[in-house]
Amino acid sequence: MPIRIHNLYCDAQGESHWRDIQIDWAEENDAGKLSARLPATGIIFRQTQAEHDRPWHPAPRRQYIINLDAGVELTASDGESRVIGAGEVILVEDITGKGHLSKSVNSKMRHSIFVPIE
């Protein structure tokens, strides 16, 4: 079974939407399964305060976001919302247009990792 990644992207009209991306396994050995190597240009650790809700904004760059210990609710400009829990991965690509809303879940501080891909 491949890994599912949430993908928030922007269409030509500037509207953001959700879709799912699958990361397939490229290799299997006695230690487990591995995907193909994906490009990345760094790693950023982030702590977000519990009361941190953001109005409409585009992502600052194309990047993977990995939630470590709490969730976030993200709403695309087409109205679809997703709660991204701890351990889940998002690929944000809505770097133009209206962007998305971000809302804390359960009033918890959140730690996450940003992995820029540009």
The total domain count for the chain is: 1
**32 falls within a domain:** no
Predicted TM-score (pTM) of this structure: 0.92
Does residue 35 fall inside a structural domain?
no
What residue numbers bound the domain in which 72 lies? Answer: 3-22+41-116
Residue at 106 is within a domain: yes
Given this model, what pLDDT does residue 1 score? 87
15 within domain boundaries: yes
What is the chain's pLDDT, residue by residue, as a tens digit (118 residues)? 899 999 999 999 999 999 999 999 999 999 999 999 999 999 999 999 988 889 999 999 999 999 999 999 999 999 999 999 999 999 999 999 999 999 999 888 999 999 999 8
Closest CA to 46 of 63, 25, 67: 67
Which pLDDT value is given to residue 61?
97
Does 31 reside within a domain? no
Residue 88 within a domain: yes
How many Cβ atoms from other residues are within 10 Å of residue 77's Cβ?
21
**Predicted pLDDT at 118:** 80
CB-based burial label for 93 (10 Å; 0-12, 13-18, 19+) = middle
- Specify the CATH number for the domain of residue 78: 2.60.120.10
Instruction: Name, in order, each residue with C-beta under 8 angstroms of 18's C-beta and a sequence gap of 6 or more.
Output: 6, 7, 8, 76, 80, 82
Does residue 71 lie within any of the structural domains?
yes
pLDDT on residue 59 = 97
Q: Which residues contact 63 (CB under 8 A, 6 or more apart)?
A: 91, 92, 114, 115, 116, 117, 118
Rounded Cα distance between 4 and 26, Å, is 15
pLDDT at 98: 94
